[in-house]
Every structure is written in C-alpha cells, then in structure tokens.
Chain A
Amino acid sequence: MINVNLPQQPDREALLAFWASASLLIGLVLGVVALLAGVTSSAGSLLLAMGAAGIAFLARRSRERALDQAYKRWNKAAGAYADWARRTVTGIWYWTVFTAVGLTDGGGLKQVDSPWRSRGTLPDRAYGDPGGSTTGRDAVGGIRDFTGWAVRSGRAWTLFLLPMLAILRALDTRGSKSSAPDIYTLY
C-alpha cells in the first residue's frame, strides 16, 4: 500500500526520493505536452522528458531550500487530498451501508435496557481471539481475523466495509485526530 502522506520530518533519503519522483513527473508532463502540441515526435518527446527530468533532478542539488518547500507543499496538498478522500470514502459507506443496516435494524442503542444482566468471565481458551470467539485459536492479524469475526458474530454485512477499510488504510492516519474534542473517546 502506498501511503499518501509523506513523513513530516523527512531525512535526506526521503527528500531525494521525493525529488526524483517529482523530476520524473515534470519530465513526463513536459514530454506529453510536447507530443500533444506536435512540437516533437514520440521519440523526441521521450528524449525531452528524460532531459527535463535529468535537469530537474540535478538542479535540486543547488536548491535545497526550494526542495524543502516543494516537499512541504506537496505533503500539504497530499494531506488535503487524503482528508477529502477520507471524508468522501467514509461518507459514501456511512450513508449507504450503515443507513441501510440501520433502517432494517430498528432503533439501535437507545432502546437498550439497563438492569444488571448476567455475564460470565472469559474462558481461558478465549484469550487468543480479539473478538468474542472461544475457538482457542490465536489471532493472526489482517483480513483473516476480520472475516472470521464477521462470520462468527453474525455480521457478515461488515464484509462490505473491507474496501473502505483498505482505502482508509492507504490514505494513512498519521496526524489525523481520533476523536472530537468535546466527546469522551468512545471508539
């Protein structure tokens, strides 16, 4: 998975990698523009692209401050994109999957009754599982745990969440706060 957000405090190698990628991108864009404008042939565009990329990359070496600024601006843009993408992805899933489940569910938590209710203590063989299962198997992580839990808990519909979870993971959560400031951290 490629994380959208780059490290906030990059080391020299990260900056170098960033500029190499950016140089290649600049070169490719210039090459495509030149080809579309009919300025050169495809071979000429390729040469132009490689030349532009090489110049852009080598030019970095004498403009450290510009590189640093470019990196920060790119990261800010990437962060803004990630925020927008997270909102969009979670919104789509929330207003489709969760609303559909909610409409068929009938009321949710507000109607939970509240006396003391009986419960037991976790059986010794249930410690390996991150859910409520007593299979005695240890968690291995990843999709296998999730799908096993979804089926065992009778929540197979949550498998529809997997694409959303995968996208969110790729968008990276570093720097995003995990709870609203005025609410107890419930989740």
Chain B
Amino acid sequence: MSTYVLGISAFYHDSAAALLRDGEIVAAAQEERFTRKKQDPDFPARAVEYCLEAAGIGPEELDVVAFYEKPFVKFERLLDTFSGNAPSGFPMFREALPEWAERKLDLPRVIRTALGDAFRGRIVFAEHHESHAASAFFPSPYEEAAILTLDAVGEWSTSAIGHGRGSRLELTEEQRFPHSLGMLYSAFTYYTGFKVNSGEYKLMGLAPYGRPLYRDKILENVVEIGDDGALRLDMSYFSYLEGVAMTSERFHDLFGAPPRPPESAIGQKEMDLASSIQAVCEEVVLKAADHVQRLTGSKRLVMAGGVALNCVANGRLLREGPFDEIWVQPAAGDAGGALGAALLAWHHMMGEPREVSPQDAQGGSFLGPAYDNESIGLFLDAIGARHHRMDDESELVDRVAEILDSDKVVGWFQGRMEYGPRSLGARSIIGDPRSPEMQRTMNLKIKYRESFRPFAPCVLREHVSEVFCTEPDQDWPYMLFVADVQESLHRSLTDEERSRMEDPDLRVRVSVPRSTLPAITHVDYSARVQTVDRERHGRFHRLMERFHERTGCPVVVNTSFNIRGEPIVCTPDDAFRCFMATDMDCLVLENHVLLKEEQPEGLIVDGEAYRSQFALD
C-alpha cells in the first residue's frame, strides 16, 4: 500500500500544494493558477484537490500533511518585532493580527476543516528554510551537495547554509531577521517604483540599463557585507519593521528623492540604482557561496529561497564561483516550500531513503494538470470556436513552425502545467526571436507591459553553446541562469543605433537590434536561457527541431502565457480567453489549432475589460 505525503504552503504569498507517493513527486501546483488571483495567499484548497485527483485518492488516504513552516515560531518574531517597536508599528499590527487569530495560530483546525472528516493522518510542521533546503536538495541530481537558501525571511532565518548527503540534509548556519538580502532587494524594488514581492525580477531586468554608480554609497551606508557573505543592514534606512513602507526618510535623503511613483517614467537614476543593488546582491551571493564551499568542501551547490530566482546572480555564481555544478529549485519561492515540507517529512521524519535521479526528480517541473483532446474539443465546440484538430503530430509541428516563421505569435498549451513562476513550454507564448518587431509586438499587444524587458529564449540543448556562452550540452531546463549571447551573433551598431542606445526612453533603447536574435538579447547581450531536451520536453522539443530545420534557428522566444498581472493560464478556457483578448495569432491546445482570423466576432474578448480584472504587478 502506498504512502502519501501532502505538502502545503499558504497564507503569505503563492500558496501551493505538492503530493508525494512513496517519496515520488506525483503532482504540485500553485493555488493562483486555479483561483486566477495572482499570488493567492489563501489556503490552497483547489491545488490540494488537484493533487489528490492526480493521484486518484481522497483525503482519507493521506498519511501525512506537512506545512512548510512553524507558525508559532513566526509568531514569536511578530511579537518581538511589535513589542520592540511599540507604540509605533500599529498599522501593520492591526492588519496582521486578525489573520493570526482566525487561522495562522490554529492551523491543525484549518487543515482538518479543509480536508474534511475523512482525513485521519498526521499534521506536521517543517521549518521554513529547511523546507527551502529540502526542495533544493532532494529533487536535485546530486548525491551530495552544499546548500544555500536565501529569501526575505522565514520564521527568523533570512538565509541558511548546510550540506546534504544521501537522504539527509543538515543546516549548520543561518542569518537572522531583520538582516536580509531578500528584504534589501525588495526595499530597492519598492524605491524604484515596482511592486514588492512581484517586481524584483523587473528590477533585475532594469539593471543592465544602468551603471553601478550607487554601489559604494549602498555599501558605505545601507549595508555592510562580511567576507563570508554575512550582511548587516543599517535599519535606520528601512521602515519595514514599523510597517509603513519599505524605506525610511533617511533612505530617501541618501538617494536624493522620494520613491518613484509606480507606473511613472523610469529615469537613469532608477537604472543606476537597479544596477547597483544587483551588483551588491551578486557580491553577497558569491561570498556566501564561497563560505558554504569552504565549510562543506563540496563542488556542487543547490539553492532555493526567493533570492535564488535572481538568475543573473546565478549565472555569475556558476561562472565565477567555487562550484562546478549548481541546481536551483524551479519553484524557489514560497510555493516550493510545499514540496520541500513534503520531502522533509518523507526523508527525515519517516526516515525513508532517497533515489537520486541523474536528470533530477523534478520532471521538467511539469507537475500540474493536463487536459485531453476530447474535453478540449468539446469545450471549443460548445463555445463555437473554429479549430482544426491535427492528430498527426508531424503535421501539427510543421504547421506551427510555419506560423512561427511568418512572424506570428503562438499561444502554446501542451501537457502538464509548470510548477514555479516560469513558463517552460507547457503554458507558453512563443515567437520568432529573429524578428526585430517581436519584442515590441509581444510587449505591447500581448503582455501589455513595460517594454524595457526582453523576452527569454528557449534553445535546443544540443545547440546551446552555439548560441550562448555556455558549456556544450549545458542542462538548464528551468530558466534560472543568465548567459551572454555568443559574440559571433552580435551585430555591429551604426552611429545612429548607438545614439538610440542612450535615449532616455527605454523602449527606444531596447528596440535597437543588438544581435541576430534581437527579441531575446538584452542591452548587455545577456539572455535568460532555457534549454529544451527530448526527454523532458517531448512535443515542444520536436516543434523547435522543426523550426530549426526550417529556419536554421534553434531558438524560440518563450514568455509566460498570461498578460500582465494575470496568473499563468491553467485550463483551456483560461488560454482561450487570453488568446481572444490579445493579439496572439494562433493558439495550440494539445492537438487543436486555432487561428485568430477564423474566430467568430462574437468570441472576441474586450481587451480592456480583460485587463481590468487583474491588478498591475
């Protein structure tokens, strides 16, 4: 009889559930995909429902439910923070306490109520950074590895280091709140006018436009970094302890202005701040990595925690750091804590052995729901959509490759949904990276977002080092590392193009084609690379192979299948509505191909009404 362990993360940001059967990952998904509320913090009831359905079980068959952190330890931090700040800090206290009273201090009741009377198993509580560590180490392809977790904060820890071997991991050192690399980065995210906890990757994308002019000022005033990567924030520059805003008046005085209002014009100052804080972040990560390498002697590293999503820092760490190999949990943020908690319960609490998979146990991170052709066909017929069913895959990928080659944008919906913040070829919008117009088209007409960010490339793994400065056959299936485009693909800029690169309008700068793959090349020639291989990616790999045969280009643009502020699509219905509300040209739902120009007028979704459903992130 199988043993089922359900992991849950909830109540902060990005709730999720993950299910193990005899230690193997059966299913995992984020709640936001089902509820269509971005970073939904509520109890992941629908994600849990999906996981149980995927395993073909009910709650009565669950042996253990593992929650990803210790709520009472977190409550200790809350008490210490508020008693330390009282009488100031009341607004945050007033907002936070009701949730604790209602749910967070009574999680066994909340979980048992959600699962119903049929559930008779144990409820256990892992520790936050141990959950991150477990999510990084146990699915990795390494028998042994150093562990580094970095985020804003869990209960008390803001970062932790340790060592994993076999079916055990040990965390040996930590740093504690309020000294946090994640909070530091989020503070600059806020100051430069982006939304906290969702805008950090935008700050990362802005960095190449600037120069690290403020790096020294940051290091002399705001944060002190030890040789071992330990950091100490001067809290007088921050006001997140009082709960008013991330940064204080002293911070604003230091950088000469109040925070940039959201959605206002981005100036050179914001670009330089982005570049500066990115440089500081990379320095901390490199030093911390050196420290953990010295402590463990390992040549392999695994990482998790929200800061591990900083793929620019990851790329630099791999190039310049002491490790030969690095594996980062694709769901490195709190959603991955659900998986980590379940794995900790299995390997540590239940003492079960671990089988190391040479290609990792994450399965491409395709762990969410899939939909069959019959139900998709019935859905499309019911709404009156015009679609072509192409059960011959060769014909299908031919047709889609042809569409891509005509400079058209394709919504690609195949197989199981991704687990983690990135689209990896299951719920993706794809296009031709050679097109000089593709970046602008996708940004403005499909994503409705700021245009300074390039798109990410998918590349056939067998051709990765021809296009990017990587090792031959580099295995990067999760879009967590940045590498430069090969110099042979760079374009020489004309004088006119060079002057456009200095334009204060970033849309002008980003429109300058810097390589033969302009849609995915950033202003500093970097790209956030995802490799696509036969074993993990199946049909997506075959599509890219056909596109390569047709055009000689082994790369496609891959962006997430959503518009700005919307969770990535989950169901065919979500995908169809997004398709009809944007300027996508073609939608492929498994074997069903839909062309925009063939769709009845009555099915067109008003773009503005569609966008208004989702708060800007």
Interface set of A (CB-CB < 8 Å, partner B):
86-87, 90-91, 94-95, 98-99, 101-102, 105, 107-110, 112-122, 124, 127-132, 138-142, 145-146, 149, 153, 155, 158, 164-166, 168-169, 171-173, 176-180, 182-187
Q: B348 to A114, Cβ gap below 8 A?
A: no
By a CB distance below 8 angstroms, the chain B residues around A186 are 78, 81, 92, 96, 152-153, 240
> Which of B230-238, B249-257, B503-511, B523-531 touches A?
B230-238
Q: A131 to B93, Cβ gap below 8 A?
A: no
Q: A182 to chain B: closest CB distance in Å?
A: 5
Q: Which residue of A lies closest to B111 (CB)?
A: A141
Q: B228 to A116, Cβ gap below 8 A?
A: yes
By a CB distance below 8 angstroms, the chain B residues around A128 are 122-125
Q: A124 to B174, Cβ gap below 8 A?
A: no
Q: B109 to A102, Cβ gap below 8 A?
A: no
**A122 CA to B179 CA in the complex, in Å?**
22
By a CB distance below 8 angstroms, the chain B residues around A164 are 97, 101
By a CB distance below 8 angstroms, the chain B residues around A182 are 190, 196, 245-246
Which residues of B160-183 have CB atoms within 8 Å of chain A's CB atoms?
160-162, 169-179, 182-183
Q: B533 to chain A: closest CB distance in Å?
A: 34
Q: A121 to B170, Cβ gap below 8 A?
A: yes
Q: A169 to B95, Cβ gap below 8 A?
A: no
**A165 CA to B178 CA in the complex, in Å?**
26
Q: A141 to chain B: closest CB distance in Å?
A: 4
Q: A174 to chain B: closest CB distance in Å?
A: 9
By a CB distance below 8 angstroms, the chain B residues around A113 are 232
Please tell me if B83 contacts chain A, counting CB pairs below 8 Å.
yes
Q: B161 to A165, Cβ gap below 8 A?
A: no
> Which of B68-76, B206-214, B323-331, B353-361 touches A?
B68-76
Do A183 and B196 form a contact, CB below 8 Å, given A121-B169, A142-B106? yes
Do A94 and B82 form a contact, CB below 8 Å, given A114-B232, A117-B174? yes
Q: A179 to B95, Cβ gap below 8 A?
A: yes
Do A168 and B90 form a contact, CB below 8 Å, given A110-B84, A122-B127, A141-B106? no
Once A and B bind, how many residue pairs between them come within 8 Å at the CB atom?
A: 241
Please tell me if B606 contacts chain A, counting CB pairs below 8 Å.
no
By a CB distance below 8 angstroms, the chain B residues around A94 are 82, 86-87, 90, 93-94
**A146 CA to B76 CA in the complex, in Å?**
12
Please tell me if B500 contacts chain A, counting CB pairs below 8 Å.
no
**A145 CA to B73 CA in the complex, in Å?**
12
By a CB distance below 8 angstroms, the chain B residues around A153 are 72, 76
Please tell me if B130 contacts chain A, counting CB pairs below 8 Å.
yes
Please tell me if B102 contacts chain A, counting CB pairs below 8 Å.
yes
Do A118 and B173 form a contact, CB below 8 Å, given A110-B241, A182-B245? yes
By a CB distance below 8 angstroms, the chain A residues around B230 are 114-116
Do A184 and B240 form a contact, CB below 8 Å, given A115-B230, A132-B70, A149-B72? yes
**Chain A to chain B: the 7 pairs with minimum beta-carbon distance, closest first:** A108-B84, A131-B72, A168-B101, A141-B108, A127-B124, A114-B179, A114-B232
Inter-chain pairs besides A101-B86, A131-B70, A140-B108, 4 sampled, C-beta below 8 Å: A138-B122, A141-B107, A145-B108, A146-B105
Q: B267 to chain A: closest CB distance in Å?
A: 20
Q: A184 to B98, Cβ gap below 8 A?
A: no
**A98 CA to B84 CA in the complex, in Å?**
8
Q: Which residue of B lies closest to A149 (CB)?
A: B72
By a CB distance below 8 angstroms, the chain B residues around A146 are 72, 105
By a CB distance below 8 angstroms, the chain B residues around A142 are 106, 109
* Contact pick for A99, options B86, B99, B243, CB 8 Å: B86
Q: B78 to A184, Cβ gap below 8 A?
A: no
Q: B91 to A180, Cβ gap below 8 A?
A: yes
By a CB distance below 8 angstroms, the chain A residues around B103 are 173
Binary interface encoding of chain B residues 199-236 relative to chain A, with 1 for a CB under 8 A from any of its CBs, else 0: 00000000000000000000000000010111111010
**A185 CA to B170 CA in the complex, in Å?**
28
Q: A187 to B74, Cβ gap below 8 A?
A: yes
By a CB distance below 8 angstroms, the chain A residues around B76 are 131, 153, 155
**A102 CA to B85 CA in the complex, in Å?**
7
Q: Which residue of A lies closest to B174 (CB)?
A: A119
Do A178 and B99 form a contact, CB below 8 Å, given A108-B85, A139-B108? yes
**A178 CA to B42 CA in the complex, in Å?**
10
By a CB distance below 8 angstroms, the chain B residues around A138 are 122-124
By a CB distance below 8 angstroms, the chain A residues around B91 are 180
Q: B349 to A127, Cβ gap below 8 A?
A: yes
**A157 CA to B526 CA in the complex, in Å?**
55
Pull 21 A–B residue pairs with CB atoms less than 8 Å apart, ordered by A: A86-B94, A98-B93, A108-B84, A109-B178, A115-B226, A116-B175, A121-B348, A124-B349, A124-B351, A127-B345, A130-B67, A139-B123, A141-B112, A145-B72, A145-B105, A145-B108, A146-B105, A182-B196, A183-B244, A184-B197, A187-B74
Q: B197 to A185, Cβ gap below 8 A?
A: yes
Binary interface encoding of chain B residues 1-32 relative to chain A, with 1 for a CB under 8 A from any of its CBs, else 0: 00000000001110000000000000000000
Which residues of B48-84 have CB atoms within 8 Å of chain A's CB atoms?
66-67, 70-74, 76-84
Please tell me if B100 contacts chain A, counting CB pairs below 8 Å.
yes
Please tell me if B41 contacts chain A, counting CB pairs below 8 Å.
yes
**A132 CA to B127 CA in the complex, in Å?**
9
Do A121 and B153 form a contact, CB below 8 Å, given A114-B175, A116-B174, A141-B108? no
Q: Which residue of A lies closest to B226 (CB)?
A: A115
* Best-buried of A91, A99, A142 by chain B (most CB within 10 Å): A99
Q: A107 to B175, Cβ gap below 8 A?
A: no
Q: Which residue of B lies closest to A131 (CB)?
A: B72
By a CB distance below 8 angstroms, the chain A residues around B186 are 184
Q: A123 to chain B: closest CB distance in Å?
A: 9
Q: A173 to B101, Cβ gap below 8 A?
A: yes
By a CB distance below 8 angstroms, the chain A residues around B94 are 86-87, 90-91, 94
Please tell me if B291 contacts chain A, counting CB pairs below 8 Å.
yes
By a CB distance below 8 angstroms, the chain A residues around B107 are 130, 139, 141
Do A108 and B72 form a contact, CB below 8 Å, given A127-B124, A184-B186? no
Q: A130 to B243, Cβ gap below 8 A?
A: no
Do A90 and B93 form a contact, CB below 8 Å, given A117-B173, A139-B125, A155-B79? yes
Q: Which residue of B lies closest to A152 (CB)?
A: B72
Q: Which residue of B lies closest to A93 (CB)?
A: B97
**A124 CA to B112 CA in the complex, in Å?**
22
Q: A126 to chain B: closest CB distance in Å?
A: 9
Please tell me if B557 contacts chain A, counting CB pairs below 8 Å.
no
